[in-house]
Structure 1
Amino acid sequence: MTPFLNIAREGAVMTVTMDRPQDRNAITEPEQSAEFVALADMLARDRTVRAVVLTGAGKSFCAGGNVKSMREKTGLFAGSPFDQRNHYRTTVQTIGRAMWELEVPVIAAINGHAIGLGFDISLMCDIRIMAEGAVVAESYVKLGIIPGGGGAWLLPRVVGTARASQMTLTGDAVDAATALEYGIVSEVLAAENLLPRAQGIAAAIAANPGHATRMAKRLMREGMDQKLPTHLEVAAAYQALSHHTADHAEAIDAFLDKRAPAFRDR
Structure 2
Amino acid sequence: MEPFLKITRDDAVVTVTLNRPDDRNAITERSQSEEFADFCAQATRDLSIRAIILTGAGKAFCSGGNVKNMRDKEGMFAGTPYEQRNYYRTSVQMIGNALIALEVPIIAAINGPAIGLGLDITCMCDIRIASDRAVMAESYVKLGIIPGGGGAWLLPRVIGMARASQMTLTGDTIDAAKALEYGLVSEVVPGEQLLDRAREIADSIATNPGHATRMAKRLMREGQHMQLGSLLEMAAAYQALSHHTDDHHEAIEAFLDKREPHFTGR
> How far 1:230 sits from its partner (Å)?
1.1
Find the counterpart in structure 2 of residue 198 from structure 1: 198
Find the counterpart in structure 1 of residue 56 from structure 2: 56
How far, CA to CA, are the matches of 2:260 and 2:11 in structure 1? Answer: 16
> How far 1:258 sits from its partner (Å)?
1.5
1:159-183 C-alpha deviation (Å, 9 max, x unpaired): 1110000000000011100000000
How far, CA to CA, are the matches of 1:20 and 1:113 in structure 2? Answer: 14
Find the counterpart in structure 2 of residue 12 from structure 1: 12
Secondary structure of 2:61 counterpart: strand
> How far 1:44 sits from its partner (Å)?
1.3
Find the counterpart in structure 2 of residue 72 from structure 1: 72
1:194-225 C-alpha deviation (Å, 9 max, x unpaired): 01000110000000000000000000010111
AA aligned to 2:206 is A
RMSD: 0.6
AA aligned to 1:6 is K
1:100-155 C-alpha deviation (Å, 9 max, x unpaired): 01110000000000000010000000000001111010000000000000000000
Find the counterpart in structure 2 of residue 153 from structure 1: 153
> How far 1:243 sits from its partner (Å)?
0.3
Secondary structure of 1:196 counterpart: helix
How far, CA to CA, are the matches of 2:36 and 2:250 in structure 1? Answer: 34
How far, CA to CA, are the matches of 2:178 and 2:16 in structure 1? Answer: 26
How far, CA to CA, are the matches of 2:68 and 2:4 in structure 1? Answer: 19
How far, CA to CA, are the matches of 2:102 and 2:56 in structure 1? Answer: 20
> How far 1:97 sits from its partner (Å)?
0.3
2:234 aligned with 1:234, yes or no? yes
Secondary structure of 1:133 counterpart: coil
Secondary structure of 1:136 counterpart: strand
How far, CA to CA, are the matches of 1:233 and 1:32 in structure 2? Answer: 37
Find the counterpart in structure 2 of residue 107 from structure 1: 107
> How far 1:257 sits from its partner (Å)?
1.4
Pairing of 1:208-223 with structure 2 (within 5 A): 208-223=208-223
The aligned length equals: 266
AA aligned to 2:44 is A
Find the counterpart in structure 2 of residue 143 from structure 1: 143
2:178 aligned with 1:178, yes or no? yes
Unaligned 5+ segments in structure 1 are none
Find the counterpart in structure 2 of residue 97 from structure 1: 97
Secondary structure of 2:38 counterpart: helix
Secondary structure of 1:149 counterpart: coil
2:43 aligned with 1:38, yes or no? no
* Percent of aligned positions that are identical: 69
How far, CA to CA, are the matches of 2:165 and 2:245 in structure 1? Answer: 44
TM-score, normalized by length of structure 2? 0.99
> How far 1:18 sits from its partner (Å)?
0.3
How far, CA to CA, are the matches of 1:133 and 1:41 in structure 2? Answer: 32
1:31-86 C-alpha deviation (Å, 9 max, x unpaired): 10000001011011100000000000000000000000100111111101101000
Find the counterpart in structure 2 of residue 249 from structure 1: 249
Unaligned 5+ segments in structure 2 are none
Secondary structure of 1:62 counterpart: coil
